[in-house]
Homo-oligomer: A and B are copies of this chain.
Amino acid sequence: MLIAMKTTATREQIEAVKEKIFSLGYTPHVIGGAQRIAIGITGNQGKIDPSHFISMGGVAEAISVSKPFKLVGREFKPDDTEISVNGNLIGGRELTIIAGPCSVENREQIIEMADILTSLGIKYLRGGAFKPRTSPYSFQGLKEEGLVYLEEARSKTGIHIITEVRSEETLPIVAEVADIIQIGARNMQNFALLEAVGGAGKPVLLKRGNSATIEELLMAAEYIAHQGNPHIILCERGIRTFETYTRNTLDLNAIPVIKKLSHLPVIVDPSHGIGIWDGVPPMSMAAIAAGADGLMIEVHSNPESALSDGYQSIKPERLKNLLKKIGLLADIMNRSVNLQTNEVNEKIYTT
């Protein structure tokens, strides 16, 4: 249930509603919208009687919620969520471009990539320090050492860092370095980890599991929100189907569906979504055209020698061309790609 307060509701009236909710044994969640405050209720089994609230001062409506997800649902919060990362908004008008290698491979590589991306105006660097791999014998990432290099890349360039957390145990050190903590597809229903990042105080990028339904993705986000962290970015990265030509089947249907069901921003990872480097640019364009709030793209200066996922990585030059086309597409979508440096924008937008 959701208690929508009047625009004129006072602080005391809001507190009174929260007290009432606590007194019934449930948990209140205050949700600030552009216009007015609403108070979500969780912790109930079955329906709550609206008469508890409807005659209280400042209450406009008691709305029963039909979906299993609450805090992340549009019923609870109709306005789009915008997540601020040092003043840069994810989920607003501006499209978010995240780029970088699959793994942090060594110091030089990640510093060089941060330089290149910064010169293209890109504000977010991805790179895995802890790599979950299907085989215990595959490269598992540089771990703590990789985090040090990411930190250095940020200090040097000011780029924001997004990197994956692999376990509760290493969450503290990842959270210290990451501007955005990534939960990988295989951990989407690692509920202990979801709860832990729910308390980590950093925005979270939550990747859809390769056989997770849209509803399961939203329920996983609900676990994070339920721990008090509403700064969640959903990421569509392809689902597992019978098709074997591509690594996954990028489910762009999920974009309009999630946008209807949830207020959270959604970005798309076309690199895992198709798994073939020359399919990345068309699928990037398709994702933005479908309404995604941004992209996460694997980029590598020398894909042939990448320690992981080289086949799906594009080179920086190709990214530069793609950004140009995305800039044009953004205009049509009433979005923008405010790449950071004027010099680059100039280079990119003039041909």
- A residues sitting closer than 8 Å to B (CB atoms) are 42-43, 68, 70, 132-137, 166-170, 186-187, 189-193, 209-211, 213-216, 219, 222-223, 226, 239-246, 249-257, 260, 273-274, 276, 278-279, 282-283, 285-291, 325, 328-329, 332
State the Cβ distance, A59 to closest chain B Cβ, in Å: 23
A280: nearest chain-B partner, CB-CB:
B256
Cβ 8 A contact of A274, one of B216, B256, B287: B256
Extra 18 A-B pairs, beta carbons < 8 Å, given A134-B189, A214-B243, A282-B289:
A43-B137, A133-B191, A134-B216, A136-B191, A136-B222, A136-B226, A166-B191, A168-B192, A187-B190, A190-B190, A190-B193, A250-B253, A253-B273, A256-B276, A257-B279, A282-B291, A286-B290, A325-B332
Are A257 and B242 touching (Cβ within 8 A)? Answer: no
Cβ 8 A contact of A287, one of B166, B191, B256, B286: B286
Are A289 and B291 touching (Cβ within 8 A)? Answer: no
Are B249 and A241 touching (Cβ within 8 A)? Answer: yes
Which 5 pairs, one residue from A and one from B, show the smallest C-beta to C-beta distance? A211-B211, A167-B192, A289-B289, A286-B290, A285-B289
Contacts of A239 in B (CB 8 A): 241-243, 249
Contacts of A211 in B (CB 8 A): 209-211, 240, 242
Cβ 8 A contact of A190, one of B186, B223, B252, B257: B186
A249: nearest chain-B partner, CB-CB:
B251
